[in-house]
């Protein structure tokens, strides 16, 4: 199933010309904050089941973004025929630490283990983007990488976090903005929005919109 969420358009926006091929609430928030009207169609692909490739993480996340966009493209064609939103936007994000790919945790224990592995170290966060033009068939696929360092975090803080469930659906088991606001000692070299799953400064030009300065 590929659910369509018409409520994803922010109040007062123009008619949507973008389909966001993602169920991520973080990506919805980032796109809405940029003033982009959009619909949500969630692809059936489960990236947690994909065999991760730590040798070339950029290629891996770009491939997953492309697969997601292609799945939603077929559903959009059935729903909208020749009209409807022009652009399909898909993304995938993964963490890479010590050459190992770190995806989304399956449970609280795995989330705690992931976070413990980040303490006192630096890891890469890679986001792949695919933008498909339904009118012309053109596509743009690209990636962006940021580096995140997590300072000292107590075992008790990690246990409380894992028990709270905020790790669900998050690559590496955490959301950068949420954890920064919660007081985690995080530092980012690069675009924090890349860590959160959608670098708007790159996405807007790909959608034919004015990018951030």
Q: Which residues are catalytic?
A: 92
Angle at which helices 155-164 and 108-118 pack, to 10 degrees? Answer: 140
The per-residue b/e assignment along 156-188, b for 16 or more CB within 10 angstroms, e otherwise, is: eebeebbeeebbeebbbbbbbbebbeeebebeb
Q: Give the β-pairing of 100-102 and 87-97.
A: antiparallel
Contact 90, 128 (CB under 8 A): no
Euclidean distance between the first and the last CA atom of the chain, given in angstroms as a whole number: 38
Distance between CA 159 and CA 162 in Å, rounded?
5
């Amino acid at each position: 199933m590929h659910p369509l969420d018409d409520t994803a358009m922010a109040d007062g926006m123009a008619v949507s010309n973008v389909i966001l091929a993602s169920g991520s609430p973080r990506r919805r928030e980032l796109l809405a904050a940029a003033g982009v009207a959009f619909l949500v169609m969630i692809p059936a692909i489960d990236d947690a089941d994909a065999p991760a490739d730590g040798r070339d993480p950029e290629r891996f996340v770009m491939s997953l973004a492309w697969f997601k966009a292609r799945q939603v493209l077929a559903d959009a064609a059935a729903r909208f025929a020749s009209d409807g939103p022009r652009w399909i936007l898909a993304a995938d994000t993964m963490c890479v630490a010590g050459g190992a790919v770190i995806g989304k945790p399956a449970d609280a224990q795995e989330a705690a283990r992931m976070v413990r592995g980040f303490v006192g170290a630096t890891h890469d966060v890679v986001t792949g983007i695919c933008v498909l033009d339904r009118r012309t068939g053109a596509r743009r696929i690209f990636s962006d990488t940021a580096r995140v360092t997590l300072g000292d975090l107590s075992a008790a803080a990690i246990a409380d976090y894992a028990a709270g469930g905020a790790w669900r659906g998050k690559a590496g088991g955490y959301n950068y903005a949420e954890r920064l606001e919660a007081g985690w000692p995080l530092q980012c070299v690069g675009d924090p929005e890349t860590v959160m799953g959608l670098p708007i400064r790159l996405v807007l030009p790909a959608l034919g919109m004015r990018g951030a300065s």
